[in-house]
Amino acid sequence: MTVGSVSILICTYNRASYLAETLAMLARLRVPEACAAEIVIVDNNSTDSTCRVVADAAATSPIPVRYLFEARQGKSFALNAGLLRATGDVLALTDDDVLPALGWLDGLVNAFRAHDITFAFGKVLPRWGCLPPPELLTERAHEIWGPLAIVDYGDTVVEYTKDAHGQKLPVGASLAFSRAALTAIGGWRTDLGKVNNSLISGEDHEIFFRLRRADLYRGLYDPAIVVRHLVPASRLTRRYFRQWFYWHGRTLARMARDIYAPLDLDRVPHIARVPRFLYRQALQQGWKWVRVLGRRDGLAVLIEELQTIEYLGFFAERWRPIPVPVTSSAQE
């Protein structure tokens, strides 16, 4: 792919102090050769000093900084606003509490130049707000790392193709797309992505289902592309993990047609808008939790508890009296 320009896109909501640190690091990035770069900040209704922080950064940054305001609350609305206004051939996503390595942008652009891909990503390593419990860093704990937004899929470059299934997907803290591919599939679903301080997510995973359906699923994981993502002390509590898995269950309910494809959910028996087979799975998972409660293995108990809570979130979302909209696009 020929890449002559790249847009760094950050959506933010009331995190001015973190954003200032991120913008300071972005100003130090190596800009790829023969590539125009810009930084696009989408302010999603912030009431703090976000606007001033962006203006201060724009006054000194060697990379042009653009400020957008999106009044519709929700991360996906903000992402779609950035997609419509960004000018780069490649859209490089990151978060307002991330510190990218100096070669981050260079690595993403070179991935697109060297490979026929529509997305690229690398490692998202933690900046711990406090020391985590040692058991959380074990390999067994990886299955509950979702709340930490850490990505470390090894030290080998991996290609992502439409015929490969079960590969671990990126997160939005460090993820680049071909802007043309994003536009072709209509941007992000606006019923996914955080709204205010809710933990609904999934916008950065659901989009890969649509890339597959559009025959645009071609990606690369490069471990040399690195960012460091803040993991505050508040995310290392059992309470936060429980909240996250509950809301993740609600997220999965909104993505159920894709999650369970190629099974046609319209053709399976339902009870109260939940596929009947999921009640059986939930009971089996609950029993697994009960069986480990008496053990001294605290991590095993936590894993089974969280996976049970995820089912509760799924059911709660499907039992809502008014169904959520299925799709919404950047062209709205």
The predicted-structure confidence for 142-181, as pLDDT tens digits, reads as follows: 999 999 999 999 999 999 999 988 899 999 999 999 999 9
Q: How far from chain centre, in Å, is Cα 113?
A: 24
Taking 90 as the threshold, does the pLDDT of residue 270 lie above it? yes
Range 110-125 average pLDDT? 98
Taking 80 as the threshold, does the pLDDT of residue 186 lie above it? yes
Range 297-312 average pLDDT? 96
For residue 197, the model assigns a pLDDT of 65
Is residue 154 a contact partner of residue 254, using CB atoms and an 8 Å limit? no
For residue 331, the model assigns a pLDDT of 43
- Percent of the chain past pLDDT 90, that is, above it, reads 91
pTM tops 0.95, yes or no? no
Taking 80 as the threshold, does the pLDDT of residue 323 lie above it? no
Q: Identify the band that residue 196 occupies on the pLDDT scale cut at 50, 70 and 90.
A: low
Fold of 5-236: Spore Coat Polysaccharide Biosynthesis Protein SpsA; Chain A (3.90.550)
Cα separation, 301 vs 296, in Å, equals 9
For residue 18, the model assigns a pLDDT of 97
Range 202-212 average pLDDT? 95
Cα separation, 205 vs 248, in Å, equals 12
Q: Comparing 64 with 332, which gets the higher pLDDT? A: 64
Range 241-269 average pLDDT? 95
Cα separation, 20 vs 215, in Å, equals 38
Residues 6+ apart with CB under 8 A from 295: 301
Distance set, CA 255 to CA 14, 191, 201, 210, 261 (Å): 28, 10, 11, 11, 10
For residue 25, the model assigns a pLDDT of 98
For residue 325, the model assigns a pLDDT of 47
For residue 332, the model assigns a pLDDT of 42
Taking 90 as the threshold, does the pLDDT of residue 296 lie above it? no
For residue 329, the model assigns a pLDDT of 46
Q: Identify the band that residue 297 occupies on the pLDDT scale cut at 50, 70 and 90.
A: very high
Given CA atoms 150, 156, 159, 164 in this order, what sign does their dihedral have? negative
Range 268-290 average pLDDT? 97
Range 315-327 average pLDDT? 72
Is residue 150 a contact partner of residue 229, using CB atoms and an 8 Å limit? yes
Is residue 37 a contact partner of residue 6, using CB atoms and an 8 Å limit? yes
φ, ψ (nearest 5 deg) of residue 130: -155, 165
Mean pLDDT score of the chain = 94
